[in-house]
Each structure stands twice: as structure tokens, then as C-alpha cells.
């Protein structure tokens, strides 16, 4: 159970998710302790470096040009402004600085500024991560040459349910960008979103597809959908908290050597639910009071949680 596998099946993962809750969490903790420090949490900060106007129609996203959510669009931030935010993030305890732009794909005209951002973040002693939509191989190579540590490009859900959520970009196009990053030597940050109306089978299929990647993504973010009014998924019922914990535990077992992150959705979780997520094997989260366009718990709540759990 502690050796990475690339041949997981839907049936195996569904059976894993259906185990008694205490047994599932015990197994996830066992895997966590075999590969990671159970008392350490990787703290990342996420910055929206270009807001809104995206040509994709992802049903969960307020930055899509297809929806009206009251979001104010903005152009790509200046490099020095981004680095000021990175300095602030480091001073507040972040280890990784993640930068996201609401683009369908990176344009070559913006590549020099993106490269300078990566170099500047690296010079500050932070791990760097970018999410910029689809990449060509040449763009991935340029980002790797700048020293980019991670590229985030989520699969979102299983391939059967995916067209219900997004129709402007195919599943294979997502996989192609991941492959370009792999060929260039960039680590992958790749996961999905739970609570979009998908079936347990779709969640299992997401895990299967992620597990096929060889090696596994070094970082696996698991998002809890934050329904945003005005988006196609804005009226979605929230996923049950204990169900979310179950799937975090499944992710920890399926991806034993990966960092598993509680990503979007923490703001609406109680401290007790967040503690269960960490006990289920999550060992990374975003700090700060905002993600791309949604709220995050903020420093005071996080410090209270970390202190109660004895987490560094």
C-alpha cells in the first residue's frame, strides 16, 4: 500500500472509499507516516496574476468570459508587483508561491514576463508554481529553463463526467499539457474538484487517470467546490464533509509519495473538519485570506488550527 501504483482500477478505488471510516483513516495515516513527516504542513500562497476574461467555459469558475459574476477583469500584473506579493508571502510563512492567470493558453507575447516572475520568485528562496492554461512544448521548456518547480493543470474530474463541466477544452488537451511539462522536467501539480454533481464512480475515475501518470503528480490538490453565483455550478449542493475526508484519505493512499493539498473550500470548513482532513493524510494547504477569487480562512484561524494539532 505504500508503493506507488499506476494500475488502479475504478472498482479498487470505490472499494477503498467504502471502507469503514476509522480503518480508512488509519490506513491513510500509515501511508502518510511511511513517506512524510506527519507533523509538517507545506504552506503555499496563491496569487491571481491576471483576472477574468478566460475563453474557457469551466462550469465552476467565476473568471470565465461565458459568465457574469461581477468579477472585474484585469491585465497581467507587472513583474515587480508580483514579486512584492511573493516577498509578503514568504514573510508570512509561505514555502511555495503559486501564480495563476485566467487564460485558455499562454501566449508567447506574455512568456518573457512570466519567465521573469519565475526567476524572481526562485531568487527569493521560494518554490515556484504557475497555472496558465495550456502550454506548447516550447513554452514548457522555457518555463523549465527559468527554474519553474511546479505546473498546476488539474484534470478536474473523471473523463466521463468532464464534458458536463467543460466543453471548450478536451480531456486529452489537459493530458497533453501535463506531458509537455513532464518532458521539460517540471513537476506536476494536478488534482481535481469534488462536489460538482459527479458520482463516486467519476471521483474514482479521476484517481485512476491521475495514477496513470508516471511518475505520479508530485502535488495532488483536492478542491471542495465553492459554488459561485452566476456560474453553471453556482447552485450545487455542498459535498458532505465526511465524504470529502474519505476522498482525501483515498488520495493519500493512491498517491503515497505525493503532497496532497486541501485546496479551495477550506473557508466553509469548521476547524474540526479541517483537522479530520489533515488526519486523513493531507499535508499541504494554501495560507492567506484569499485564493484566486474565493475566500480562505486566513492567518488567525490557521494558527489556531496548527497550534491545536501541533503542526509546524
Positions marked catalytic: 54, 58, 61, 98, 129, 189, 261
Q: Which positions ≥6 away from 155 have C-beta within 8 Å?
A: 162, 171, 174, 175, 190, 191, 192, 206, 209, 210
Cell numbers standing for residue 69: 459574476
| Alpha carbon 191 to chain centroid, angstroms | 6
> In this structure, are residues 166 and 193 in contact, taking their beta carbons and an 8 Å threshold?
no
CA atoms within 13 A on the CB side of 26: 5
Cell numbers standing for residue 34: 511511511
Report the length, in residues, of the chain. Answer: 312
Query: Measuring CA to CA, which residue among 78, 76, 55, 50 is closest to residue 67?
Result: 55
Distance CA 50, CA 48 (A): 6
Distance CA 243, CA 199 (A): 12
β-sheet bridge partners, residue 50: 101
Distance CA 137, CA 181 (A): 7
Examine residue 215 and say whether the peptide bond preceding it is cis (omega within 30 degrees of 0): yes
Distance CA 232, CA 81 (A): 33
Amino acid at each position: 500500500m505504500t508503493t506507488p501504483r499506476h494500475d488502479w482500477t475504478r472498482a479498487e478505488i470505490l472499494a477503498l472509499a467504502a471502507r469503514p471510516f476509522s480503518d480508512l483513516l488509519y490506513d491513510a495515516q500509515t501511508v502518510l507516516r511511511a513517506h512524510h513527516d506527519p507533523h509538517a504542513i507545506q504552506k503555499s500562497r496563491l496569487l491571481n496574476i491576471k483576472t477574468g476574461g478566460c475563453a474557457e467555459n469551466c462550469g465552476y469558475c467565476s473568471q470565465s468570459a461565458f459568465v457574469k459574476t461581477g468579477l472585474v477583469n484585469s491585465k497581467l500584473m507587472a513583474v515587480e508587483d508580483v514579486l512584492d506579493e511573493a516577498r509578503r508571502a514568504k514573510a508570512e510563512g509561505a514555502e511555495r508561491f503559486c501564480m495563476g492567470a485566467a487564460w485558455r493558453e499562454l501566449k508567447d507575447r506574455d512568456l518573457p514576463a512570466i519567465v521573469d516572475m519565475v526567476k524572481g520568485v526562485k531568487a527569493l528562496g521560494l518554490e515556484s508554481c504557475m497555472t496558465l492554461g495550456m502550454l506548447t512544448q516550447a513554452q514548457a521548456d522555457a518555463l523549465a529553463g527559468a527554474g519553474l518547480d511546479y505546473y498546476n493543470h488539474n484534470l478536474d474530474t473523471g473523463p466521463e463526467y468532464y464534458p458536463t463541466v467543460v466543453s471548450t477544452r478536451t480531456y486529452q488537451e489537459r493530458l497533453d499539457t501535463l506531458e509537455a511539462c513532464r518532458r521539460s522536467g517540471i513537476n506536476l501539480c494536478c488534482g481535481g474538484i469534488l462536489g460538482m454533481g459527479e458520482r463516486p464512480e467519476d471521483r474514482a475515475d479521476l484517481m485512476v487517470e491521475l495514477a496513470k501518470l508516471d511518475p505520479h503528480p508530485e502535488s495532488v490538490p483536492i478542491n471542495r467546490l465553492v459554488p459561485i453565483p452566476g456560474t453553471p455550478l453556482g447552485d450545487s449542493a455542498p459535498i458532505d464533509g465526511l465524504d470529502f475526508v474519505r476522498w482525501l484519505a483515498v488520495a493519500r493512499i493512491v498517491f503515497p509519495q505525493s503532497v496532497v493539498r486541501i485546496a479551495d473550500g477550506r473557508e466553509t470548513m469548521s476547524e474540526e473538519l479541517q483537522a479530520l482532513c489533515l488526519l486523513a493524510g493531507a499535508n499541504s494547504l494554501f495560507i492567506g485570506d484569499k485564493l484566486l477569487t474565493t475566500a480562505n480562512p486566513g492567518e488567525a484561524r490557521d494558527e489556531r488550527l496548527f497550534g491545536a494539532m501541533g503542526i509546524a
